[in-house]
Amino acid sequence: MIRRCPRSLRCFCSIPSPQNILFQCNKRIRELGQLGRIEEARQLLDTMPHTDTVSWNSMISSYVQNNCIQDAKLLFDAFEYKNVRTWTILLSGYAKAGFLGEAEGMFRAMPERNVVSWNAMLSGYVQNGDIRKARKLFEEMPERNVSSWNSLITGYSRGGLMKEARELFDRMRVRNCVSWMLMISGYVEIYEFGEAWGVFLMMMRSGMRPNQAILAVGLSATMGLNNLDLAKSLRTLAIKTSYEKDVVVGTAILNAYARNGKLESAIKFFEAMTVRNEYAWTTMIAAFSRFGRLDDAIALYELDTEKGVALRTTMITAYMDWARTDDAKSIFSELVDPNIITWNAMVSGYAQNGMLEEAYCIFLQMPIKNAASWAAMVAGFVQNGNDEEGLRLFSEIQKTRITPSHSSYASALSACAKIREVQMGKQIHSLIIKMRCQWNSYVANSLLYMYAKCQEMGDACQVLNAMRIKHADTWSSLMSGLSENQLLNEAHNTFDKMPIHDLVSWTIIISAHVQSGNEEIALQLFFDMLSTGVKPEACVVASLLTACGSMGVIKVGEQIHSLILKLGLSSCLSVCNALITMYFKCGSLCGLCVFEEMPERDIISWNAVLVGAAQNGLGREAIKIFKQMETAGYQPNEITFTGVLCACSHGELVDEGWAYFISMSQDHGIIPSIQHYTCMVDLLGRAGQLLEAEALITNMPVEADCVIWEVLLAASRIHQHIELSERVGERLFQIGTKNSGTYIVLSNVYASQGLWGKVAEIRELMRYRGVTREQGVSWIQIKNKLHRFLTGDKKHEDIEEICLALKEFCERFKASDYVPDVNFARHDVEEGEKENELLYHSEKLAVAYAVLRTPNGSPIHIMKNLRICIDCHSFMKFVSKATQREIIIRDRSRFHHIQDGSCSCNDYW
């Protein structure tokens, strides 16, 4: 039956030849389908004078392209003369729409199949993440072409299973550009940049000419390798293949320069580009921002007169990165129709600046949300410590049709790790397996970290063993979880197993040792890292400076300071703050110089110099610094006032201390904590105002702890207030203190009064409670080696020489009015032995060895774990005068700078 063409189509189908009419109509159906005008395409089909198989297949294909699967099936059922292409079209449609069961049914029902049909089913499995069925079908295929191989390689690559992808790739007899592209991009996706570059070179040796896309992904590999020479070689190749002026390749070259730290080269290349797309502009603006040149980023942004959505979005991100949220908001408000990427930039920008309310408000206003939107908001909550809310929001994603991104899974697992919600973590793990993304290295590393942090080491090992490819990030995730659980030995064993150590792994293990008090190991690891050629970043340098400060090894600290200057980190705020603290903790006033030379400062800088000055006996200087800080417009915080009160305490500035203590709440709205009350008790106790100090503890609004009573006990002993010592001691015994110093101090108070029965009671109480006396330890650094001395030490290799020097000093000083204060010897030894016992206190052994082994006139730095006794303090003053040396001693309480027979503490400590 011949149907007449409607008037609207007569001009279109006016060619006399029926064959030409049919050809033109079939072509028009395909065009209308591609434009989404599906009803017009169907109307054309229904009114065509003649139809053939191509007509019906074109219409079914148009339905499939526009996700009208039911209409496609109805037309498929109505078509009497179906061929293998008809079946394949609908099969592909089902697969693309996620109806894998229907696709399988179509495949089984096909009366005949060709390689295209098999490939369609294979692609369906790959697109829906069922790589196991895809591989089974692949092995069953009677015939394969290059598309068959590429489909299965695509499936493996998407799942990060590059070992399996490579095995297939190596078996291929014929490869095309897609094959090479899949392998190179697959390796780049899992950060195996070396493998990616190896495949690129293999392609070149095979004679295959790289196309635009392969050159771009090859440049991504060079960026991952951080190898600018390789990027330059690809630029040369792009010139030879006439691709350099291609805007996509050109932008990739530009990005390679920017990502490899060559900003000036990037600028020159950008200026020379004959054609620039929006991505080129956004790449350059992002590079300026990343390198701290925000003004240049703004200037470049202003040069673009069109300012498309992508460019504005990049500028919003740049402003957000520099915490200029108002400027970002201003650009956003100018956009009439922001796209989803712009909305996401606002959400993530507010979140990264800690403005969660603003981020969530934007998130709720979004007209459309995608996986990245949810990921940004979940990450925002988790990164800002609101882990429960982050997990709640993650669960909300499940109620939508959106599949969570890998980033969302990682953020949720991080939240579980931080709040030790291992059961929730296991539920998320199950979901990850269900969604077949457990092979993604980012997700797998997060799983590993979560289980390690929750001390579920069996599960952590299962995740580790299941990982096909273990990157440096994998080992680092495991190390982080272990070290944060104080499982340092296991973390170090993991570090030793790593095939290659990168900067992240070195940073984790060094920081873990510093935090665990293993400063010597941390320093040795740092020097090992330098010997491998790995350059440290600011965070690991700051961590090592903390270690130097804790150990008091100023020589090593000075070496690291020199390295900081070579690495260009001298303007880094966190590094400068760590330098200030390190110098002051080593008893060096170079901390003041570092502070004065800093290009910028924050409250941490001011607190570091203030506290450091106070601990080193510069009480009045510390108060001057506090006033300078207020003048500079910085608001003091709790740490600031701790430093100020400490300065007043060590400087006998009672009235000033009271004034600052009152000013905390009255002028600055800071409620004093137990630490501030302890400083005040110390201040009053040192000044002999013991009853006032006791009254302050009794009447303060916060609960007293052992430390504040121990401070009062030490003061009562110095001022020989026996009754108060007994009262405070009894209070401490009631609390159940385990501090051996409390028992020793009270024992010595009783012994000084000849109350030996009381002394025996305290000794018995110590044995009953399992309290052991903390032994005095002092240490010094000589020629990069740390020497430790215990009180009464007889094990040092040079102990005989040290003892001889001490005896000579003692005899010499006795002739100059030095009288050993035997009150600071143990009371359970014979009177004749007390003076001899005093001679072998750890700090005396240390100072004698320093005099013997260091150049004449050089300063001596001694660190001590306990408070220096009065006799040793007096002895050090005689040594400094006799040897013309400055002796710097850091004890548990403060620093003593002793020179020419006098101390910075003015004998007041």
pLDDT at residue 10 above 50? no
* 51 Cβ contact list (under 8 Å, min separation 6): 22, 45
pLDDT at 221: 83
How sure is the predictor about 662, in pLDDT bands with cuts at 50, 70 and 90?
very high
Q: What is the structure's pLDDT at 833?
A: 61
Please state which of the ranges 44-58, 376-390, 447-461 shows the lowest mean pLDDT. 447-461
**β-strands 785-790, 777-782: how paired?**
antiparallel
pTM comes to 0.62
Residues pairing with 553 in the sheet? none
Q: Return the pLDDT at 445.
A: 82
Least confidently predicted of 21-25, 220-224, 685-689: 220-224
Banded model confidence at residue 458, pLDDT cuts 50, 70, 90 = confident
pLDDT value, residue 260 = 66
**Amino acid letter at 436?**
R
Segment holding 53, helix H or strand E: helix 53-65
pLDDT tens-digit readout, 464-516: 777 766 666 777 777 777 777 777 888 888 888 887 788 888 888 888 888 88
Between CA 490 and CA 475 the distance in angstroms is 12
pLDDT surpassing 60 at residue 829: no
Report the b/e string of 100-116 with b at 16+ CB within 10 A: bebbbebbeebeebeeb
According to DSSP, the β-strands at 895-899 and 886-890 are antiparallel
What's the confidence (pLDDT) of residue 824?
A: 56
Asked if residue 354 has pLDDT above 50, the reply is: yes
Residue 8 has pLDDT above 50, yes or no: no
* Digit-coded pLDDT (tens) for 784-816: 788 889 988 788 888 889 989 988 988 888 877
* Cβ atoms of residues 298 and 331 within 8 Å: no
| Mean pLDDT taken over the chain | 84
pLDDT at 48: 85
pLDDT for position 698: 92
Nearest to 556 by CA among 568, 547, 543: 547
Helix and strand element counts for the chain (H, E): 51, 6
pLDDT at 246: 67
SS3 279: helix
Identify the band that residue 388 occupies on the pLDDT scale cut at 50, 70 and 90: very high
pLDDT of residue 646 exceeding 70: yes
The pLDDT value given to residue 822:
61
Cβ(513)–Cβ(546) below 8 Å: no
pLDDT on residue 2: 38
Q: What is the pLDDT of residues 228-286, one digit of tens each?
A: 777 777 777 777 777 666 666 777 777 777 776 677 877 877 777 777 777 788 888 88
Q: What percent of the chain has pLDDT over 90?
A: 23
CA distance 671 to 192: 54
Distance CA 604, CA 601 (A): 8
Position 826 confidence tier, pLDDT thresholds 50, 70, 90: low
| Tokens linked to 761 | 């009671």
User: Quick one: pLDDT band at residue 16, thresholds 50, 70, 90?
Assistant: low
Determine the pLDDT at residue 909.
60
Banded pLDDT at 908 (limits 50, 70, 90): low
Choose from 210-214, 545-549, 568-572 the range with maximum mean pLDDT. 545-549
Tens digits of per-residue pLDDT, 137-189? 999 999 999 999 998 998 888 877 888 889 999 999 889 989 988 998 888 88
